[in-house]
Amino acid sequence: MSHQVLENTVYRIPIEKVRQSLTECFRSALNFWQSGNYVAEKLGFHIAVGLIILGIEELGKYVLLDEAIAKIEDPKETVEIPVGIFKSHRIKLEKGQSLFKNWGFDLEQAGIPLTNQTRESLWYVAWDPEKQEFKRDLGVLATGAFPKMDTLQELMRRGLVKMQELERASLV
């Protein structure tokens, strides 16, 4: 599917299904965090950071849906989310990070730039034409990887606890 088609396509989600996103996004974020913790225990910090970034994106996806539902006046309407926005790593990551800030958790304390560029540079092997070698850019973790990961994991844990509280409150 071309980029242009994605920009013009929308997901039409029945409003009664949007609350389901809270549970699904929470579970997905929790699974990314759990997987990241496991990988970090094995000293795979470069992979763990990317998994946590994806977890933050899942919480950002919930924010996108929650913002869309807040604009709806008639409970029989459907929520329309442009597919390009719903699938945008950048937008979901920004929304997720702002959610953490709203909760009083500053993810920047970890000292790791939480961007898709960071995830990609840590995860993917690139070819360096000047040095004529394959490499992965682990620079963001070079100094103090242990404390950085501990801080990031704890901040993510706190955010997940808040999200779980929201989920429980929505069931009442």
Report domain extents, the chain: 3-165
Pick the CATH number of 3-165 from 1.20.120, 1.25.40, 3.40.50, 1.10.357: 1.20.120
pLDDT tens per residue, range 106-140 = 999 998 989 988 898 888 888 989 999 998 888 88
| pLDDT recorded at residue 6 | 54
Percent of the chain with pLDDT strictly greater than 70: 95
Give the integer Cα–Cα distance in Å for 62 and 68: 10
The mean predicted confidence, pLDDT, of the chain is: 88
Q: Which of 15, 23, 68, 18 is nearest to 167 (CA)?
A: 23
Task: Measure the CA dihedral 23/104/153/148, to 10°.
Answer: 150
